[in-house]
Amino acid sequence: MAGFRLRVPAFVDIAMVAHPAITLIIDLSDGDGFVYSTHTRQGRGSVVVGLLPGDLRASGRAGDCLQIRLEPVVAAAVLGGSVMEFNGAVESLEDVWGHDAGRIEDSLRAAGSWDERFAIAVDIIGRRMAERPRVDAEVAHTWRRTLTSRGRVRVDGLAEEAGWSRKRLSARFRSQLGITPKRAGRLVRFDHAAHLLAAGLAPATVASESGYVDQSHLHHEVRAFTGLTPAAVAAAPWLAIDDVAWPASSPRPNRWVPQPALL
């Protein structure tokens, strides 16, 4: 979870890079706020971003927003059903949460500090998780093993760990998380590679450390998930804030001013 305050005189247009999480972006701007667009649709205000958003871009001039990333196994409860419908899509938060979306925005906007906003958001998410059923334990285990292995455990091995057949695991995983275990592994591996690129490593080194066959394989996967080149992903502002919002080191200056918190 992180809060962002954009205060720049110029119009900002940022490509949003695929991430192994469902992302809630709650627009707390007083004015026109941010615009989110893909090649098929455009929206304004608070949105839910699926695992594979494609060519999603965010643009605007000034305002506050709260970004919350949810593991799919958590999002299935928080968003009130299977996350399958969100994959590859960007949906208005109002379409997902109905009138609750407006009330939540008003509550967060009226809060006196970012810490208070974080506390409100944690309470909302905690209550929703408690009220709704979770995904199968085997599915949750498979997802988290995929994350911790950085996408490098084969599906047969994951099925064996779950005690299911490969066919059953793939069917249950896809029905509850909206993505196959194999595709999930590719997404997690891409995310690891993208952050290595953003850290300044050479593509050949990134390919080797991320488990790709070679540099051309890396290039193909980056194109598949973002439509960008590895060089463009390396410079993506969307990745540049991750070590601030989810800190692994001291924050480095940038024009997005985040107030960090963890969920």
Q: In this predicted model, what pLDDT tens digit does every residue of 72-85 receive, in sequence order?
A: 988 888 887 656 66
Q: How far apart are CA 15 and CA 54, in angstroms?
A: 10
Percentage of residues in the chain having pLDDT higher than 70: 81
* H helix or E strand, kind and range, residue 208: helix 203-210
Region 89-114: mean pLDDT is 89
* Token code pair at residue 261: 């918190």
* Token code pair at residue 89: 């899509």
Condensed to tens digits (0 to 9), the pLDDT of residues 181-213 reads: 999 999 999 999 999 998 899 999 999 999 999
Q: Which of the two residues, 206 and 233, has the higher pLDDT score?
A: 206
What pLDDT is attached to residue 86? 65
The CA-based angle 187-151-88, given to 5 degrees, is 15
Q: How far apart are CA 204 and CA 218, in angstroms?
A: 9
Region 227-255: mean pLDDT is 62
Lowest-confidence region among 24-28, 130-134, 183-187: 130-134
Q: How confident is the model at residue 108 (pLDDT cuts 50, 70, 90)?
A: very high
User: Which pTM was predicted?
Assistant: 0.83
Cα 200 to Cα 14, 46, 154, 231, 257, distances in angstroms? 19, 32, 28, 10, 22
249 CB-side CA count, 13 A: 6
What pLDDT is attached to residue 228? 84
Condensed to tens digits (0 to 9), the pLDDT of residues 46-60 reads: 888 888 766 777 777
Q: Which of the two residues, 62 and 45, has the higher pLDDT score?
A: 45
Q: How confident is the model at residue 91 (pLDDT cuts 50, 70, 90)?
A: confident
Q: How confident is the model at residue 247 (pLDDT cuts 50, 70, 90)?
A: very low
Mean of pLDDT over the chain: 83
Residue 39's Cα: distance from chain center in Å?
Answer: 19
* Token code pair at residue 238: 């969307």
Q: Say whether 72 sits in a helix, a strand or coil.
A: helix
